[in-house]
Amino acid sequence: MKPNAARVLIVGAAAFVAAAGLASAASAQAQGEHTPNGWSYEIKDGKRVPKGNRMTNADGSWREEVKQGNCVTVKERSAAGEYKETRQCNPVTPK
């Protein structure tokens, strides 16, 4: 084989491996939106977002509480599809 042909094959093989690695990394990132159980946050758009404590009922309604600092956001959805979101912040009392 000529030296130039060998170089072209090596460069082509390296480009193929790099493209395959980028494709697998992109698919892993798209599927990797799930945070392991036990963590108090999820990763969304590269940022930490607190995970809520969701309780789902048999009729399809649910209630989720998310704590952020001294504030609590409550999200509720009824079985009929009505959505309600409330937020309550309690001031921190000095000791």
Overall average pLDDT of the 46-75 stretch: 89
Q: CA 23 to CA 36: how far, in whole Å?
A: 23
Model confidence, pTM: 0.51
- Specify if 33 maps to a domain: no
Domain count, the chain: 1
Alpha carbons within 13 A on the beta-carbon side of 42 = 9
Range of the domain at 66: 50-95
- Specify if 68 maps to a domain: yes
Q: Are 64 and 54 in contact (CB under 8 A)?
A: yes
- Specify if 1 maps to a domain: no
Q: CA 78 to CA 12: how far, in whole Å?
A: 57
- pLDDT tens digit sequence for 2-44: 677 778 778 777 776 666 665 555 555 555 556 777 777 888 8
Summary mean pLDDT of the chain = 79
- Specify if 69 maps to a domain: yes
Res. 77 pLDDT band, cuts 50 70 90: very high
Provide the pLDDT for residue 59: 94
